[in-house]
Structures are given as structure tokens and as C-alpha cells.
Structure 1
Amino acid sequence: MSSLCYWLLLLLVHFSRSTSRATAGKVSAFIVFGDSTVDTGNNNFIPTIAKANFPPYGRDFNGGVATGRFSNGRLVTDFISEAFGLPSTLPAYLDPSYTIDQLAKGVSFASGATGLDDLTAKFTSVIPLGQQLEYFEEYKARLEAAKGESVASEIIAEAVYIFSIGTNDFILNYFTLPVRPVQYTPAEYVGYLVSLAEAAARDAYHLGARKFGLCGLPPFGCLPLSRTRNHREPGECNEEYNQLAMRFNAELQDAVTKLNGDLAGVLVVYVDIYSVLSDIVANPSDYG
């Protein structure tokens, strides 16, 4: 099963057919927080070097246009939006060309190179997760002004929310900058990041969100940068990094269980990225 199909299957099953803990069979909008995996162009509108608005980015997008997506074409979240019967491309919140009526069906607040840890965002001058949540609060107010409080509340409650974030906290922060390694052991830093992810979900809940997907980390020890930095086995996956990703994912799953137990009327699911990308790395020919 491809990574895209896996995402679609998990989200559609949990959210479109949920009958017990969230509104059944109805998704009003698809709302996204995170990093470059889900940034549909917000970094185009902020002063940062972390941009994807030039070739070869976007070479397979409609018209071959680099939109600010860190991809050759659409992102997985674009395909998921389309699968929910929503727009086939998810707007970036900071793009002034979109109206609130267009944003009402879905929006990405994500920012490439950001992380759960504010220090990660500061390193490349991108949008921290806390600011993304502030934009979401602003978005909610804009919806209320445009559509009335009742309709806006319905959109917010029946939307699906995805958080895809965390890899940069290790790659661009912990294993690059000197600050966090002095303050935390690797295991402690994992716990710190998971606590931030849980807090962000709670903040979104208090703003009206009810249906969440929290994405785990990929095997980031197999990313090109990690392979390059692997001085013990040049060119190979860094298994120390992968072990941290697995530890993060295990603790995030515990946080998901806690959120489902603590918050009334919420449905939170864990989205497994690790096993899917591990299979792609191990069996690349199966994926073309």
C-alpha cells in the first residue's frame, strides 16, 4: 500500500465513518498544522530562506508552477482534501489571493522548517506552532464575521485537523544547535516534544476542534541529511535517529490515548508515518 493510500484509508475510516465520538460521515473542512510536509505556501509570505517557490519544486504541479510546496507536485494533504470531497489543493492561510469563503473548506497554517519547539522555528525564521494556532483563532473569528457564529462553529466542529510536525526539532535543532543538548538528554527531549504536541492539540480543542490526526515521525535517520551526517556508516541510515523517532511515536500514541480520555466529544487518531516510509526505503522498486 502506498503512503498516500495509507493516509487516505486511515483518515477516511476514522473520520468519515465515525459514529460514536464525533459527527458521523461529515467533514466540513480540512485544516492543517505543521512543517514542510504540509506547508502549501505560507513560507512564500514571510521573510525566511526556507522557501520552495522556485524550480524544480512544482514541476509536476498544474502548469509546472512552484507554489511553495516542498514537493514536485501536490502534497498528501491536498489528495486527502480531495478525497473528502473538498478542494483538490489546500490553500495557504497567508496567501492573500484566497477569500474566507474559499478558506472555509480547508486551509493550511503550516510552515516549512518549523517544529514543536519554538527554538526550531527561530533558527530559520519561520512560523512556530503557537503562531499557527493564533492564525487558527484569527481564522475562526473571520469565519464568524463572514458566516455567523452558528455556521462558523459548525464548520470548526466538523472539520478534520492534522498535525504533521516534529522532524525538524531533531534534524535542524537538537543535532545541529548547542542549546537543547545541554538542557535535555535525547530521551528527555522526546518527552518535551510530545508534551508540546499534546498541548497544541488541547489548544485547538479549546478553540472548537474535535477530530484530530496526530502524525508520528518518519524514520528521519534515513533522510539524505541524516545519511550524510552518519560518519560511522557514511551513506547509511542513522539508526540512533530512527530509535528516537520510534520512541517519539510510542510516547505520542500514549498522548493520543490520554487526549481521548480527557477531552469530551473528541476523536484523536495516531497516524503512522514510520512504517510506511520505512517500507519505501527498504523496497524502493515497489514504489517506482
Structure 2
Amino acid sequence: MTNSVAKLALLGFCILQVTSLLVPQANARAFLVFGDSLVDNGNNDFLATTARADNYPYGIDFPTHRPTGRFSNGLNIPDLISEHLGQESPMPYLSPMLKKDKLLRGANFASAGIGILNDTGIQFLNIIRITKQLEYFEQYKVRVSGLVGEEEMNRLVNGALVLITLGGNDFVNNYYLVPFSARSRQFSLPDYVVFVISEYRKVLRKMYDLGARRVLVTGTGPMGCVPAELAQRSRNGECATELQRAASLFNPQLIQMITDLNNEVGSSAFIAANTQQMHMDFISDPQAYGFVTSKVACCGQGPYNGIGLCTPLSNLCPNRDLFAFWDPFHPSEKASRIIAQQILNGSPEYMHPMNLSTILTVDSMT
């Protein structure tokens, strides 16, 4: 009898030990990432799509010096935010390695090529559209609940930091993809922006309904200033007017929509990041930030290295830290660090209603 009691006690102790390993520590915070290629860290590597970054020289400055699926020479913005949080960057949701304790640290659902609208990026075929990313989020909750129980899962999701980056592809890879595109024939640009914002609002509201309570929402960058658009639409190196007009319409309306949504839910659940201004700071004065150029991509070909994809046969700059853009569309790691610092510490001009450092301080007191 005594032996049986001892065995039961030992079994109970072991169960408690295993459970304690799975339950996130009090100071840990899950990090959930949604969006497009600016924040994708490898999901598209598991898909049959042309929107992928799994070849050299992508990842040339990553710690492993190998491509990871990130559209960067090294780290991207989710990595840099994770670095500040002192934890590993969340793994791609499609990775078979994402399980147990790694699942409790969060997940990256992002997929290159997607937009707010489901018809954005159709040329890339098999990508994880935002509606599917939200379905995966629901699936993620079930998986976490299976590990730690529903109550702890809800605590983890409610306390998670969430990042979502969408919008640029709805213009570059939809409205302006080809002359007389279906959406450009359906909407004038101002009406299209209103429509896209209304659809984005549904996405964010769904995210809130699924339990997200701290969501960083980035605007579009200065879409007309990326090397790809300079190569196609600019004769003198000036930013493409129409795409800049689109960004100037979209971003203020995004901030207003977020303000209205926060009023509706009664809290500062959504934080607007003015990534257009963050980019324009170093695009308009690259030398002030240590860049030699903000027009020419490090990796590419043609005018401004802005034509086609970054491949092993592309032109490749020897020092990526001197270039604001890594490839025709995406910032270099150094430029991403500048953006991440503004997300962390930026003034209300950049972060509304507060920056990430303030969020972390406020949330640590609750």
C-alpha cells in the first residue's frame, strides 16, 4: 500500500513537472505574426509558389548564412522585435518543427504575395491568404489548448503580441499590377482605398474576436520608391507618383480606422505603425543613416537593380549595410533595424497611440 501511494505521488510530481515545462513562464509572451513577404519567415518554402526566398543570396547575412524563406539578406522585422523581447523569433506555422514549447512561444502565419483582398497575388498561385491565416490562427488555438488547457490558452492568446503587415500587395500586385486591371476598372483609386480599408477592418475585427488584444498594424511603405517601381515607372529616379498617391491615401485612412476600431472595442488593442514615414526618413536622406543609396537594390538586375528577382545570377553588392533596399521590393536588414527601432521607441508621429516600449511597460503592470 505504501509503495502504491509513493508511486502515485511520484507520478503526480512528474505530471506537474511536465505541465510546468509546457505552461509559458510569467514573463514570457507569445508573438504571433500575420501578413505578407515583409514578415514571412519561411511559410512559402512549404508551398508550391513562385513567391519564395529559398535561394542564395537570400540569407547571406543570416546567422546561418543560408536562405530561410525571409525576403532579406538577414533578419526581418519579426526577428528584430523578438530580439528586443529576448526570445526566439516565432517559427513558420507550416514548419513541422513548430510543436510543444515552440508552439507556446507563438507562430508566424505570414505568406509572401498576399494582400488584404483574396484576389491579390493570384499570380503566385498557392499562398496563404489572410482568411486562411486566420483559420490557421484558430487551429493554433486548438493545438495550444491541447497542450496547456483552454484557460491557459486564452491567457496566452490574450497576452500575445501580434504583428500584422498587409496592404502593399493590394496595390503593387493587384490594382497596379497591369494596365487596366480588373480592380482599376471597378474602382477609382480613392474608392478602392476605401474598399480595401473596409475589408482590412473586417480582418482586424476577426483577429480581436479570436482573442488578440495587442496588435501592431503597419501601414504600407512608400510603394512608389522601391527599386522595382523606380525601374518600371520612373525616368529620373523620382518615386512613382501614382503609387505614392495610393500610399498617401491608404495610410491616413488606416490610422483613422484603427482609432475607430479601438473606440469600438473600448481599448488600445490596435497600434498603428506609420511605416511610410519610417521608410521615407532614410529614403529621402540615405546618407544620414549610413546608406550610399536608397534607390538601387543590393541584389537584382536592370535599372536600379529593380527588374525581376534576386537570384544567384543577380548583381550583388559586397556590403549590404550600405543599401537601404536588399532586393527590388524589400528593405535590407539594416533598414529593417531602423524601422524596428521606431516601432519600439518612435514618437506619436510614428506610433499611434503608443510605441512598443510603452506597450511592454504598461502591460507589465497589469
How high is the TM-score relative to the length of structure 1? 0.87
Deviation at 1:265, TM superposition (A): 4.6
Corresponding residue number in structure 1 for 2:224: 221
Corresponding residue number in structure 2 for 1:273: 275
Q: CA deviation digits over 1:99-130, x for unaligned, max 9?
A: 14202112110001111111113221211111
Deviation at 1:198, TM superposition (A): 1.1
- Which of the numbers 233, 256, 260 marks the counterpart of 2:262? 260
Deviation at 1:155, TM superposition (A): 0.4
Corresponding residue number in structure 2 for 1:43: 44
Q: State the structure with more CA Rg.
A: 2
Corresponding residue number in structure 1 for 2:142: 141
Residue identity opposite 1:152 in structure 2: M
Q: CA deviation digits over 1:2-37, x for unaligned, max 9?
A: xxxxxxxxxxxxxxxxxxxxxxx9662111110000
For these two proteins, the number of residue pairs brought into alignment is: 262
Corresponding residue number in structure 1 for 2:96: 96
Deviation at 1:159, TM superposition (A): 0.5
Structure 1 runs of 4+ aligned residues shifted over 6 Å read none
- Which of the numbers 204, 208, 226 marks the counterpart of 1:205? 208
Is there any run of 5+ residues in structure 2 with no aligned partner, and where? 1-25, 291-366
Corresponding residue number in structure 2 for 1:286: 288
Residue identity opposite 1:107 in structure 2: A
RMSD over aligned CA atoms reads 1.6
Residue identity opposite 1:124 in structure 2: F
- CA–CA separation in structure 1 for the residues paired with 2:202 and 2:57: 36
Corresponding residue number in structure 2 for 1:57: 58
- CA–CA separation in structure 1 for the residues paired with 2:170 and 2:72: 20
Q: CA deviation digits over 1:29-74, x for unaligned, max 9?
A: 1111100000010000111011101111000111201000000111
Residue identity opposite 1:122 in structure 2: I
* Secondary structure class of the residue paired with 1:69: coil
* Structure with bigger RCO (C-alpha 8 Å, 6+ apart): 1
Residue identity opposite 1:115 in structure 2: G
Could you tell me whether the CA contact under 8 Å between 1:121 and 1:127 is conserved in 2? no
Deviation at 1:287, TM superposition (A): 2.5
Which shows bigger deviation, 273-282 or 256-265?
A: 256-265
Alignment of 1:1-288 (within 5 A): 28-87=29-88, 89-125=89-125, 126-177=127-178, 178-230=181-233, 233-288=235-290
- CA–CA separation in structure 2 for the residues paired with 1:134 and 1:27: 25
Corresponding residue number in structure 1 for 2:353: none
Corresponding residue number in structure 2 for 1:22: none
* Secondary structure class of the residue paired with 1:93: coil
Deviation at 1:229, TM superposition (A): 2.1
* Secondary structure class of the residue paired with 1:277: helix
- CA–CA separation in structure 2 for the residues paired with 1:191 and 1:237: 23
Residue identity opposite 2:113 in structure 1: A
Task: Check 1:40–1:245 CA distance in 2 against 1; reply closer, same or farther (3 A cut).
Answer: same
Is there any run of 5+ residues in structure 1 with no aligned partner, and where? 1-24
Task: Check 1:26–1:204 CA distance in 2 against 1; reply closer, same or farther (3 A cut).
Answer: farther
- CA–CA separation in structure 1 for the residues paired with 2:267 and 2:132: 25
Residue identity opposite 1:275 in structure 2: Q
Residue identity opposite 1:50 in structure 2: A
Task: Check 1:115–1:199 CA distance in 2 against 1; reply closer, same or farther (3 A cut).
Answer: same
- CA–CA separation in structure 1 for the residues paired with 2:33 and 2:269: 16
